[in-house]
Amino acid sequence: MNTSRRILLTGLAGLAVAPTAVAAALPSPEPDDVTVAEERFARTIAAAHAPNVTCVRQAERYADAHWPEYVVAARAVLDARV
One pLDDT digit (tens) per residue for the chain, 82 residues: 555 555 555 565 555 554 544 545 455 556 568 888 889 988 888 888 888 778 888 888 898 998 988 898 888 888 887 6
Give residue 50's pLDDT.
84
For the entire predicted model, the pTM comes to 0.59
Structure confidence at residue 54 (pLDDT): 80
- The predicted pLDDT at position 79 comes to 85
Contacts within 8 Å (CB) and 24+ apart, 75-81: 75/38, 76/14, 76/17, 77/10, 77/11, 77/13, 77/14, 77/41, 78/37, 78/38, 78/41, 80/10, 80/13, 80/14, 81/6, 81/7, 81/10
